[in-house]
Structure 1
Amino acid sequence: MKEQSRLIRNQAERTHNREHSVPLYLTSSFIFDDAEQGRAIFADEMEGNIYSRYSNPNTTEFINKVCDLEGAEAGLAFSSGMAAIFASFAGLLRSGDHIIACRSVFGSTHQLLNQLFPRWGITYTYVDAGKPEEWESAIRSETKMIFLETPSNPGLELVDLEWLGELKKKYPHIIFNIDNCFATPYIQKPLQYGIDLVVHSATKYMDGQGRVLGGVIAGKASIIKELMFFIRHTGPAMSAFNAWLLSKSLETLTLRMDRHCGNALKLAEMLEEHPEIELVRYPHLPSHPQYALAKKQMKLGGGIVTFIVKGGFERAKRFLDALQMILFTSNLGDSRSIATHPASTTHSKLTEEERGLLGIQPSSIRISVGLEDIDDILEDVQQALENSK
């Protein structure tokens, strides 16, 4: 079946109750048929559910759908996107290890790297996403992982996945780990280039309606097996209810992303022509400095548009306050359009210098473009720009 059909038809095995829609498995544990079955499942000689902190039919269905989308051998589900990112580091690294990361990582990921992991003797080096020559020169004998976002949040910088796959061949012992949240596996599939792991905040486009928290890791079975030990004993499990919702939401992922991306491109084109806008970034906009790369590795440009409004921080505040339909919140990937001010919210814990290196200015705005009629989105942005002068 084609990808869209598999998203709908790939579901947990039907029970004796003959249900049409997959039921919710709201149980903490599972019954063994006999003592031997219990022993065999605990010994990993037989597959089966033990405890919902380890696995649950709802989380398994969700994981299977994501793995099918990403082309992954195995996966794990988590209570949030940051739980997934943290586990992808902490479950694989130890004291003395070194991480290379693109400078333009999400604010909370930045805090993991420069605040938490140094406590445990894990070091890091930042490199610029758009400067491949910096990556290989940063590799040390103790480098265990390379981590990046592409496109990045909120600057929408890209890393060449084909080039990264070639780098992986030269350093097979290093784990290559990509946050694929902004693109979703519908738009790009990093594992096809030889990458080891992808992580997602399922809270975003996988849910798509701002309802639940969730995270997921997908990748090579050997690495997922190592991570399984970590999560079984630390407990960042996704709830069965959230997995049930997320699995149903994935059925419409490709349809929603088509609309998100179509609306986002039209908004970016309008902003680029507007006299009150200093700069616009959108991967499939020809003015994007990595436009050719975006067209090569991304099926569509994504649902995020980042721009700088003229007039500094105060103008940005007035613009946000003037929006009538578009919501002001720190989330993204919702059916409803959302505006965010990165400098004072998602990336506020970074220094001004660090934000500057990421292209985040006091007047930078990030809009997660929703599924509303594009005319209404454009009208709201235009009136906010006019009324915030």
Structure 2
Amino acid sequence: MRRKTKLIHGGTPFDPHTGAVSVPIYQVSTYKQEEIGVHKGYEYSRTGNPTRHALEQYIADLEEGSRGFAFSSGMAAIHAVFSLLSAGDHIILTDDVYGGTYRIATKVLNRLGIEATFVDTTKQEEIDKALLPHTKALFVETPTNPLLKVTDIAKLAEWTKSKRLLLIVDNTFSTPYWQTPLALGADIVVHSATKYIGGHSDVVAGLAVVNNEALGEELHFVQNATGGVLGPQDSWLLMRGLKTLGLRMEAHEENARAIVASLSALPAVHGIHYPGLPSHPQHELAKRQARGFGGIISFDVGSAQQAAAVIQRLKYFTLAESLGAVESLISVPARMTHASIPAARRQQLGITDGLIRISVGIEDAEDLVEDLEQSLQA
């Protein structure tokens, strides 16, 4: 089954009880039991809900995994996955991860006795150097947020298996339409489904998919025990969004390519980060590993003042947190999504005060290009 067909027919495309072509919103907290311990698969909606279950089967199918899980936010999904670790464990993470991931690793996991080390996961020697006897997992964001670095998933899958570590991949930027990390050897995939999977700026959600049933049982125990589950209405919104994911991801990328071509010719723009550029350090890897380059671009305009001035002059780019929606969004990571990372660390990573990140929407490309050009040329 090809990818766009799978987006329509994957998972549970029909309600098994009524034949409805859209799985209903089961707005219910508890379920009638025929007798003690005898029920129709559901007993309490924190443990399982038919609408959420349909979404979880759907994302597992799309990510080519064994079992899927839906959470109340992307960070709730990441927290649940990190909860598979124990006090005394160590985890290695990509250095320029999303600020929320950095925050939970340095401000929450450390309280629980879990140690974290951040390295450039595009460089094997840095990963090797960070490995400790009590390392249990490697968490990779690829492409990264906001510098769009690309890590070799298949290569690291071989390495983690040789070291008996879990490989966890944040697949938010690429989505299962462009990239399937489990097929490349990863153990767990996570998503901020608030982004491309939802796609319409109307839901906050997180997803995780595992590659085997044993991991699935462990993660379901954590999900049920901690209770950060996604509600049925939001689960339904994600299923609706997923049906058009392929069309949207192609439109995002088509517009991104046009914008990158325009930005490359503007003297006010420095250091464009986009995996689709032949000059990108991991361009060939991105071509081999994924089916597309996505719709996120970051570039530098020199200073915080310049970045603020550029944003003020724009008409079609909305200044906002988040990304992956049908409308084009723009942000300054140093002051927004990555503000929780210390300034010295941001500078070390290259997340400068003048770095702008744009999430390219699906408007007419000509309008977006003209809007950016008039602002940057001014």
Deviates more, 1:109-118 or 1:74-83: 109-118
CA distance in 1, matches of 2:120, 2:296: 20
Paired AA for residue 200 in structure 1:
H
CA distance in 1, matches of 2:282, 2:5: 33
How do residues 104-253 of structure 1 correspond to structure 2 at under 5 angstroms? Answer: 104-171=96-163, 173-220=164-211, 221-253=213-245
Shift of 1:14: 3.0
CA distance in 2, matches of 1:72, 1:357: 36
1:318 to 2:309 alignment: yes
Residue of structure 2 aligned with 1:68, choices 50, 54, 61: 61
| Partner in structure 1 of residue 261 of structure 2 | 269
| Partner in structure 2 of residue 41 of structure 1 | none
Distance 1:13 1:29, change over 3 A: farther
**Alignment size in residue pairs:** 376
How do residues 318-357 of structure 1 correspond to structure 2 at under 5 angstroms? Answer: 318-357=309-348
Q: Is the 8 A contact 2:138 2:160 kept in 1?
A: no
| Partner in structure 1 of residue 8 of structure 2 | 8
Paired AA for residue 209 in structure 2:
A
The gaps in structure 1 that reach 5 residues or longer are 39-46
Q: Is the 8 A contact 1:200 1:215 kept in 2?
A: yes
Deviates more, 1:26-35 or 1:330-339: 26-35
Q: What is the aligned-residue identity percentage? A: 39
Paired AA for residue 52 in structure 1:
S
Residue of structure 2 aligned with 1:308, choices 275, 281, 300: 300
Give the TM-score, by structure 1 length.
Answer: 0.94
CA distance in 2, matches of 1:30, 1:65: 23
Q: Deviations over 1:74-110 (max 9, x none)?
A: 11110000100111102x1111000111111110110
CA distance in 1, matches of 2:23, 2:68: 20
Q: List structure 1 segments (4+ residues) > 4 angstroms apart after TM superposition.
A: 15-18
CA distance in 1, matches of 2:291, 2:5: 19
CA distance in 2, matches of 1:169, 1:230: 23
| Partner in structure 2 of residue 54 of structure 1 | 47
Shift of 1:367: 0.2
Shift of 1:73: 0.4
CA distance in 1, matches of 2:133, 2:282: 31
| Partner in structure 2 of residue 78 of structure 1 | 71
CA distance in 2, matches of 1:357, 1:224: 37
Q: Is the 8 A contact 2:14 2:20 kept in 1?
A: no
| Partner in structure 2 of residue 43 of structure 1 | none
Q: Deviations over 1:324-343 (max 9, x none)?
A: 11100011000000001101
Distance 1:272 1:199, change over 3 A: same
| Partner in structure 1 of residue 94 of structure 2 | 102
Shift of 1:183: 0.8
Give the TM-score, by structure 2 length.
Answer: 0.96
Q: Deviations over 1:124-148 (max 9, x none)?
A: 1111122111112321111111111
Q: Secondary structure at the match of 2:288?
A: helix
Q: Deviations over 1:143-167 (max 9, x none)?
A: 1111110000000011111211220
Q: Is the 8 A contact 2:23 2:54 kept in 1?
A: no
Paired AA for residue 77 in structure 1:
A
Deviates more, 1:248-257 or 1:222-231: 222-231
Q: Is the 8 A contact 1:104 1:129 kept in 2?
A: no
| Partner in structure 2 of residue 29 of structure 1 | 30
Shift of 1:12: 5.4
Shift of 1:13: 4.6
Q: Is the 8 A contact 2:99 2:340 kept in 1?
A: yes
| Partner in structure 2 of residue 361 of structure 1 | 352
